[in-house]
Structure 1
């Protein structure tokens, strides 16, 4: 079991974060926030995928004004991502968002910061401080001789001090870089000093598979050390893929059980059935299932049944036919072209959620 770091509890909407709450999965829309229809459509897809918190970019007033409408049509908490402009933050709060991602040190005059903080306090909205290695204050880069983890932590401290002075403590912090180890070190150092909940991610990781590998190693390392209260996988891909990968990381680290875990063999010269195609079909047919189940798709009768004994359900293919098993027991032997259908049928029967 992973011993998670003790952090203080905050709420984004009705989603609890920190202090032993499950590690939450969040994502960010890739649509133009001013386009309410497209944004809501994307968020609904993400809700289906299991996304628990969604962040949208708020580059201008039109985007800020669209937030209320978006909020009305979605189920999960909405976070407004704002840079520099305190008026956009006030408008977002006014529109009923559940959280802000804004760095108080970048808003300008003290009174502007105070206005935003007071408005957030009134509505009990948390603020996420997001430090990014790519945009650190010049004096810190000089002081530490570059964008070091220490420079990132000190940048976060500056923002935190501003909020703490105003007696604001509903804070979540992220310290992201595109360099995996730099990010990990920044989070470690921060987490040794503060008990604010942490939003963990590696920024700008790129496409699949590169981005998946970087994110998995960076986020995975931190989670295994008990660091991290919410996670986001940033990929140059659809946000749905980001959410799927995030859950996969949580599943592999043993932090959360969610949906179907497919074990399938890499296939070898012994394989006499088309595993790649079968895995694709099984994955698609079961994508709606949110309960944690393990499904094995094996290509031969040598390792297949044995390796897959632990799985809840599985198939092992042989010559033009195969076996369907559950909990290590063979249920039926069927022709190759019936294997996937029979497996899916058995799983649906047993889960009792016939998919309409």
Structure 2
């Protein structure tokens, strides 16, 4: 059961209440570079980003926000720190939301209340962001603590428990984060402003989870989920998936961002995979592929990666399988809308559980994408399967006798 929260509007997107969990990202460009920023936002839109945030560290970035907003289709959020004048200019430029950490604003509450009044007057939303690093980082000594043993006078051994010490520190920090968030909300409510969403982020998964759970018990404002500074593509995806799944499975979370040290377009598929795994969203391709093993006699990894890449802009829910052996291949392929079960230089193409045809290895990509395109709306079909078909083959040939050989395109 989803936690029932207030519903707010960010531009044309509803967040909270009975709205679906919304997927967000943040640009990596210098915002003042309007052309590059807009181009990156367009790429994010193409892969399913529903709200986008841009950094506004200086006034040169704030004054171009209106121009950026004119050229994009999704709500624009200004990320503000320290200088309240940047938030005031962002609001004048017509952004759909400002992200504020009241704890680091110059002149504190006075500045925050100016921003709240301006947001209320323009009827735009605000995210109150509380990060563990801006409250107090976990005590470094507690983090590095190891089990220590000492001999008591009675001859017995006494052992420390660093895990317990870290748990206590984590709970204390989470409580401080929640109390700060509730204090800032109180400032908003005193000004009769309620168009608020809250985030309680930490780079430590369990700290973030603890803070979000505690807040959810004490307030009905919607929550933006995130594990901040999560890491590179693999590390960040794993940490985000672990933390967000713990919360989403409890019904906590109204919008989310998977923060990765990667191109922002990489964040969106990870976010949707988390939501699809929990059956909270049903957008785009549900992709199944085998991990490859010594039974496999096709380059299943190459084929699977290429198929997934070419389907990245599909928003229509569709189930696709790329399998490489006779053990699991036929079953998984029959269960999919479109499936490939390959082996020994050829493969069987399935469509809705029925065998369509058998094709040679150098036609795998063309055959799979052609079948997928036949099930999609016309505008998406053209993206997946262009006129003239798929000519370029990037994967390699493989047999048990020969191992992995040259790319198929280079064998001739």
TM-score w.r.t. the length of structure 1 is: 0.94
C-alpha distance in 1 between matches for 2:292 and 2:130 = 44
Instruction: Give the secondary structure class of the aligned counterpart of 2:197.
Output: strand
Matches within 5 A, 1:63-102: 63-102=61-100
Matched, 1:321 2:346: yes
Query: What corresponds to 1:295 in structure 2?
Result: 320
Instruction: Tell which deviates more after alignment, 103-112 or 248-257.
Output: 103-112
Cα deviation code 1:230-270 (max 9, x no counterpart): 00011100000011111111111111011112101111111
Instruction: Give the secondary structure class of the aligned counterpart of 2:260.
Output: coil
Matched, 1:224 2:249: yes
Query: What corresponds to 2:151 in structure 1?
Result: none
Measured after TM superposition, the shift of residue 105 of structure 1 is 4.7
Instruction: Give the secondary structure class of the aligned counterpart of 2:335.
Output: coil
Can you give the 5+ residue segments of structure 2 that lack an aligned partner in the other structure? 138-167, 387-412
Instruction: Tell which deviates more after alignment, 279-288 or 126-135.
Output: 279-288
C-alpha distance in 2 between matches for 1:322 and 1:75 = 41
Measured after TM superposition, the shift of residue 137 of structure 1 is 6.5
C-alpha distance in 1 between matches for 2:376 and 2:112 = 52
* 8 Å CA contact 2:53, 2:78 repeated in 1: yes
Query: What corresponds to 2:123 in structure 1?
Result: 124
C-alpha distance in 1 between matches for 2:290 and 2:222 = 39
C-alpha distance in 1 between matches for 2:301 and 2:186 = 54
C-alpha distance in 1 between matches for 2:11 and 2:365 = 41
1:165–1:105 Cα change, 3 Å: farther
Query: What corresponds to 1:180 in structure 2?
Result: 205
Q: Structure 2 residue aligned with 1:54, among 38, 52, 55?
A: 52
Q: Structure 2 residue aligned with 1:11, among 9, 12, 16?
A: 9
Matched, 1:39 2:37: yes
Cα deviation code 1:285-325 (max 9, x no counterpart): 32232111111111112221113332111010122111000
1:18–1:111 Cα change, 3 Å: same
C-alpha distance in 2 between matches for 1:93 and 1:229 = 23
Cα deviation code 1:95-125 (max 9, x no counterpart): 0000011134543265433322221111111
1:87–1:125 Cα change, 3 Å: same
Matches within 5 A, 1:199-210: 199-210=224-235
Query: What corresponds to 1:23 in structure 2?
Result: 21
Measured after TM superposition, the shift of residue 352 of structure 1 is 4.5
C-alpha distance in 1 between matches for 2:52 and 2:130 = 19
Query: What corresponds to 1:113 in structure 2?
Result: 112
Can you give the 5+ residue segments of structure 1 that lack an aligned partner in the other structure? 139-143
Measured after TM superposition, the shift of residue 284 of structure 1 is 2.7
C-alpha distance in 1 between matches for 2:377 and 2:191 = 53
* 8 Å CA contact 1:6, 1:20 repeated in 2: yes
Instruction: Tell which deviates more after alignment, 338-347 or 229-238.
Output: 338-347
Q: Which has the larger radius of gyration?
A: 2
C-alpha distance in 2 between matches for 1:333 and 1:60 = 59
C-alpha distance in 1 between matches for 2:238 and 2:58 = 34
Measured after TM superposition, the shift of residue 342 of structure 1 is 1.2
C-alpha distance in 2 between matches for 1:133 and 1:287 = 34
Query: What corresponds to 1:258 in structure 2?
Result: 283
* 8 Å CA contact 1:104, 1:163 repeated in 2: no
Query: What corresponds to 2:194 in structure 1?
Result: 169
Matched, 1:331 2:337: no
C-alpha distance in 1 between matches for 2:311 and 2:111 = 50
Instruction: Tell which deviates more after alignment, 195-204 or 28-37.
Output: 28-37
Matched, 1:286 2:285: no
Paired positions, count:
349
Instruction: Give the secondary structure class of the aligned counterpart of 1:20.
Output: coil
* 8 Å CA contact 1:105, 1:162 repeated in 2: no
* 8 Å CA contact 1:200, 1:230 repeated in 2: yes
TM-score w.r.t. the length of structure 2 is: 0.82
C-alpha distance in 2 between matches for 1:215 and 1:343 = 31
* 8 Å CA contact 2:102, 2:108 repeated in 1: no
